[in-house]
Amino acid sequence: MRRVLLAYDRSEPSEAALQALLRQFDPAATEVRVVHVVTWTAAVPAPLTFAEGPSAADDVLTHRRSAFRQGEEIADAAVRQLRDAGFTASKEVVGGEPADAILRAADAWRPHVIIVGSHRRAGLDRVMLGSVSGPVVHRAPCAVEVVPVP
């Protein structure tokens, strides 16, 4: 059984990665783990990062729980689509910086390949907005397929 880790956040690049997986792999011979990463910025809205007091802490925890619930729903949708196509699929929703969290998931699950989407950013956009696929490619314990937005 081939093990494929799919980094998925419902963005256009991750949708392209999901579609590439569906086209390229045999459902009968492939097990997929969908990994969705909840980032700190998604878990805590900007105004709350400057708030103080006990109620602010409660608000931060509430927003964090909400971000993780939304992450579960996003990952569940991808898992359903994969299962409907005949794949064996599971999910993992984790917190952290996307590249680091994807790499931790890969270290723990040991896939044969990681599939991740790419915005095709370059130059200043790449520096300012960051890249998930770059660090994954350079530090992954297995093959990585980077799927650009069509």
Instruction: For the chain, list the strands marked E by DSSP.
Output: 2-7, 30-38, 88-95, 113-118, 143-148
Whether 50 has a pLDDT exceeding 70, the answer reads no
**Which residue in 101, 87, 91, 81 sits closest to 39, CA to CA?**
101
pLDDT given for residue 121 in this prediction: 52
| pTM, entire model | 0.85
More confident of the two residues 55 and 46: 55
For the chain, state the CA radius of gyration. 16
Spatial separation of the C-alpha atoms in residues 50 and 45, rounded to whole Å: 10
Find how far residue 149's CA is from the centre of its chain. Answer: 15
Choice among 114-118, 124-128, 139-143, 145-149 with the minimum mean pLDDT:
124-128
Domains and CATH numbers, the chain: 2-148 (3.40.50.620)
pLDDT tier, 63 (very low <50, low <70, confident <90, very high otherwise): confident
Q: What is the pLDDT of residues 87-135, one digit of tens each?
A: 999 999 999 999 999 999 999 999 999 999 986 654 433 433 347 888 8
- The pLDDT mean for the chain works out to 86
pLDDT given for residue 85 in this prediction: 98
Q: What is the pLDDT of residues 98-107, one digit of tens each?
A: 999 999 999 9
Close Cβ partners of 90 (under 8 Å, ≥ 6 residues apart) = 31, 32, 33, 34, 79
